[in-house]
Amino acid sequence: MKHTRIIDLLNNTKTLQEVTVKGWVRTFRNNQFIALNDGSTIHNIQCVVDFENTPEETLKRITTSAAICVKGTLVESQGAGQKVEVQVSKIEILGDSDAEKYPIQLRNRPSLEFLREQAHLRVRTNVFGAVMRVRSVLSFAVHKYFQEKGFYYVNTPIITGSDAEGAGEMFQVSALPFDNTPRTEDGKVDYKEDFFGKQTNLTVSGQLEAETYAMALGQVYTFGPTFRAENSNTSRHLAEFWMIEPEVAFNDLAANMDLAEDFIQYVIRYAVENCADDLKFLEGRLLEEEKQKPQAERSEMALLEKLNFVLENNFKRVSYTEAIDILKNSKPNKNKKFQYLIEEWGADLQSEHERFLVEKHFKCPVILFDYPAKIKAFYMRLNDGTEPGRETVRAMDILFPGIGEIVGGSQREERLDVLIEKMHALGIEEEELWWYLDTRRFGTAVHSGFGLGFERLVLFVTGMTNIRDVIPFPRTPQNAEF
Ligand code: 4AD
Ligand code: MG
């Protein structure tokens, strides 16, 4: 007999039916009550075992995380806590789980840190089951949004020969031997001998390639893994993360902001509407976690309230220059509470500043735009008519409460001469990006795009606080287990 998923049993199966359920045991109480979970929902189904007529041998094997198959009758539950339960007529142990050795003792409330070391099993816990289901729904929503809007999905390469962000935080890809590396006459590594005949790396962003596609297909998006060898061991950085990068021909910066805001609200709304049970559970988890914190550090809103707030309020659009004025005159700056004090226009914003703006000053998501050219990437559109020494580019960053930067984007420099001049100033070789420059040579046009860090979105929606807990197998400095 085919088995039924627990979510379907709980939602719409008529009682007094014979059912088969398969899953992993969460708990087994009083030699009688199995809480069984199959991953389809946060909820378990209670299976009531007729222990008097079940061999002792079998009962002993109903242990935490054992895989079992249960046949029985779905009946209205006598107990509180669930509407229906399965009266077991036959139980089969599919895979034993040694209770002594099973690493996750739910009774001891294992910490998230501990569970990270058990990433292959942590998804059997309520928290990680919920997070990973929400993650899956969000990624579907990403595709749904863009497909409904007529965007084309482009798969940009993972191995590239260029540094899209010009930040030099790249993992090299090479098939050369480490011990006997071929060298040129001047002692440098001879990449001509390497697999691709040149130096290559894992991509930090699919943007440059996406731009070339936008300049032919009009509206495109990427959604794939990106890699950064930045040594930032923070709760917001991964060495391997997933990024969504839409790119649109003929969009200026204002249209880019509209797109980003509409997109983010759409995917959050989709999760709120389609992950009600998981989000309710995660809201409860967050409340518990926050009880450990001092009052001042607790969030003012519960998870769902916070999500609805983002859906119901426009993001505040603020220029970099305005933001610097606010920060300069802010209490933490005057009282020297910021680690990096804001002294003058041109300063790069640190996450402490971003969080002050979002969490303390505006108390809503903020889009900062028109940043100093000096602190942004080479491809951003130089603003017309800015003072020499105070040049700004048409950049935008979206800042979220509790997260900081969630989106980085810009209108792109579409003028060939200006772009080349900028590249020269930054020491970027024209030859390396000849194909990128071709889009400016042949039919150039205003265009814009942005990148959204998918894990930061999942963090926000699930209320988790460490980015390592929202990706199945996190890659961070000194850690590539599993
Ligand atoms: O601001 P970034 O570096 O922008 C770009 O890569 C552009 N090429 C995007 C574009 O315009 N198409 O990165 C974009 C976003 C950040 O706002 C952040 O959400 C996320 O990617 N991000 C990271 N997420 C996790 N771990 C890291 N190490 C991240 N670095 C960036
Ligand atoms: Mg950025």
* For residue 248, pLDDT beyond 80: yes
- Give the residue from 69, 102, 135 where a domain finishes: 102
Q: Which domain CATH number covers 281?
A: 3.30.930.10
Alpha-carbon distances, residue 19 vs 29, 208, 321, 352 (angstroms): 22, 54, 65, 55
> Do 141 and 43 lie in a common domain?
no
- Give the residue from 70, 102, 134 where a domain finishes: 102
266 alpha carbon to ligand 2 midpoint, in Å?
A: 22
451 alpha carbon to ligand 2 midpoint, in Å?
A: 8
Q: How many domains are there within the chain? A: 2
Which residue's C-alpha comes closest to atom 2 of ligand 1? 408
> Do 282 and 346 lie in a common domain?
yes
Which residue's C-alpha comes closest to atom 21 of ligand 1? 453
* pLDDT single digits (tens) 60-86: 999 999 999 999 999 998 888 889 999
> Do 84 and 137 lie in a common domain?
no
Give the CA angle between residues 5, 11, 15 to the nearest 5°: 90
Q: Which domain CATH number covers 24?
A: 2.40.50.140
| pLDDT for 81 | 81
Cα 325–chain centre separation: 31
Give the residue-averaged pLDDT of 158-165.
88
As a whole number of angstroms, the distance between CA 379 and CA 208 comes to 9
> Do 251 and 360 lie in a common domain?
yes
3-state secondary structure of 338: coil
User: 450 in ligand 1 pocket by Cβ < 6 Å?
Assistant: yes
As a whole number of angstroms, the distance between CA 131 and CA 470 comes to 6
| pLDDT for 79 | 82
The per-residue DSSP string of 229-297 comes to -----STT--SEEEEEEEEEET--HHHHHHHHHHHHHHHHHHHHHH-HHHHHHHHHHHHHHHHTS-GGG
* pLDDT single digits (tens) 357-387: 999 999 999 999 999 999 999 999 999 988 8
Residue 175 belongs to a domain:
no
> Do 94 and 135 lie in a common domain?
no
243 alpha carbon to ligand 1 midpoint, in Å?
A: 7
In terms of Cα–Cα distance, which of 209, 216, 212, 221 is closest to 247? 221
> Do 145 and 33 lie in a common domain?
no
* pLDDT single digits (tens) 249-298: 999 999 999 999 999 999 999 999 999 999 999 999 999 999 988 988 88
Residue 373 belongs to a domain:
yes
User: 409 in ligand 1 pocket by Cβ < 6 Å?
Assistant: yes
45 alpha carbon to ligand 1 midpoint, in Å?
A: 41
- Give the residue from 60, 86, 102 where a domain finishes: 102
| pLDDT for 106 | 73
Which atom of ligand 1 is nearest the CA belonging to 232?
28
* pLDDT single digits (tens) 418-430: 999 999 999 999 9
As a whole number of angstroms, the distance between CA 233 and CA 476 comes to 7
Residue found by looking up tokens 């079940």 in the block: 54
> Do 289 and 397 lie in a common domain?
yes
State which of 243, 450, 452, 464 you would mutate to test the pocket of ligand 1, scoring each by most atoms of that ligand within 8 A of its C-beta: 243
Longest distance between any two alpha carbons in the chain, whole Å: 87
Task: Between 387 and 440, name the one with better pLDDT.
Answer: 440
204 alpha carbon to ligand 2 midpoint, in Å?
A: 12
Residue found by looking up tokens 């802010």 in the block: 330
Give the residue-averaged pLDDT of 375-404.
94
- Domain extent at residue 267: 126-169+204-469
Please name which ligand lies nearest the alpha carbon of 169.
Answer: 1
> Cα-Cα-Cα-Cα dihedral of 303, 305, 308, 309, to 10°?
-110
Q: Indicate the angle between helix axes 276-291 and 253-274, nearest 10 degrees.
A: 90
Residues 6+ apart with CB under 8 A from 328: 342, 343
Please name which ligand lies nearest the alpha carbon of 211.
Answer: 1
pLDDT band at 299 (very low <50, low <70, confident <90, very high): confident
Please name which ligand lies nearest the alpha carbon of 405.
Answer: 1
454 alpha carbon to ligand 1 midpoint, in Å?
A: 9
As a whole number of angstroms, the distance between CA 30 and CA 99 comes to 16
> Do 65 and 163 lie in a common domain?
no
Alpha-carbon distances, residue 130 vs 21, 43, 122, 286, 315 (angstroms): 20, 10, 11, 13, 28
pLDDT band at 12 (very low <50, low <70, confident <90, very high): confident
| pLDDT for 15 | 85
| pLDDT for 421 | 96
Residue 41 belongs to a domain:
yes
Which residue's C-alpha comes closest to atom 5 of ligand 1? 451
> Do 88 and 134 lie in a common domain?
no
Which atom of ligand 1 is nearest the CA belonging to 228?
28
User: 396 in ligand 1 pocket by Cβ < 6 Å?
Assistant: no
For the chain, report the end-to-end CA distance as a whole number of angstroms: 35
* For residue 404, pLDDT beyond 90: yes
Region label for 81, one of left (φ > 0), alpha (ψ between -120 and 50) or beta (otherwise)? left
> Which DSSP helix (H) or strand (E) runs through 404?
strand 404-411
As a whole number of angstroms, the distance between CA 341 and CA 332 comes to 9
As a whole number of angstroms, the distance between CA 131 and CA 263 comes to 21
121 alpha carbon to ligand 2 midpoint, in Å?
A: 33
Residue 366 belongs to a domain:
yes
Other CB atoms within a 10 A radius of the CB of residue 100 amount to: 5
Residue 199 belongs to a domain:
no
pLDDT band at 156 (very low <50, low <70, confident <90, very high): very high
| pLDDT for 296 | 81
> Do 145 and 285 lie in a common domain?
yes
Which residue's C-alpha comes closest to atom 22 of ligand 1? 453
As a whole number of angstroms, the distance between CA 230 and CA 240 comes to 10
pLDDT band at 464 (very low <50, low <70, confident <90, very high): very high
> Do 149 and 287 lie in a common domain?
yes
User: 116 in ligand 1 pocket by Cβ < 6 Å?
Assistant: no
Residues 6+ apart with CB under 8 A from 430: 420, 423, 424, 437
Average pLDDT along the chain: 95
Residue 50 belongs to a domain:
yes
Please name which ligand lies nearest the alpha carbon of 228.
Answer: 1
> Do 56 and 160 lie in a common domain?
no
* For residue 400, pLDDT beyond 90: yes
As a whole number of angstroms, the distance between CA 366 and CA 398 comes to 6
Give the residue-averaged pLDDT of 34-59.
96
User: 474 in ligand 1 pocket by Cβ < 6 Å?
Assistant: no
Tell me the residue length of the chain.
Answer: 482
The per-residue DSSP string of 199-225 comes to -EEE-S-SHHHHHHHHHHHSEEEEEEE
In terms of Cα–Cα distance, which of 144, 173, 160, 321 is closest to 244? 144
pLDDT band at 167 (very low <50, low <70, confident <90, very high): confident
Please name which ligand lies nearest the alpha carbon of 379.
Answer: 1
Residue 328 belongs to a domain:
yes
405 alpha carbon to ligand 2 midpoint, in Å?
A: 7
| pLDDT for 166 | 78
Q: Which residues of 154-181 are buried (b: 16+ CB within 10 A; e: fewer)?
A: bebeeebebbbbbeebbeebeeeeeeee
| pLDDT for 107 | 73
Bridge partners for 86 per DSSP = 47, 74
The per-residue DSSP string of 460-481 comes to HHHT-S-GGGSSSS--BTTB--
User: 221 in ligand 1 pocket by Cβ < 6 Å?
Assistant: no
Alpha-carbon distances, residue 307 vs 189, 273, 295, 303, 401 (angstroms): 51, 11, 21, 6, 11
Residue 195 belongs to a domain:
no
* pLDDT single digits (tens) 191-242: 999 999 999 999 999 999 999 999 999 999 999 999 999 988 999 999 999 9
Please name which ligand lies nearest the alpha carbon of 232.
Answer: 1
pLDDT band at 451 (very low <50, low <70, confident <90, very high): very high
Task: Please check whether residue 91 is in contact with residue 32, taking contact to mean a CB–CB distance below 8 angstroms.
Answer: no
Give the residue-averaged pLDDT of 311-333.
97
Which residue's C-alpha comes closest to atom 30 of ligand 1? 237
Which residue's C-alpha comes closest to atom 7 of ligand 1? 451
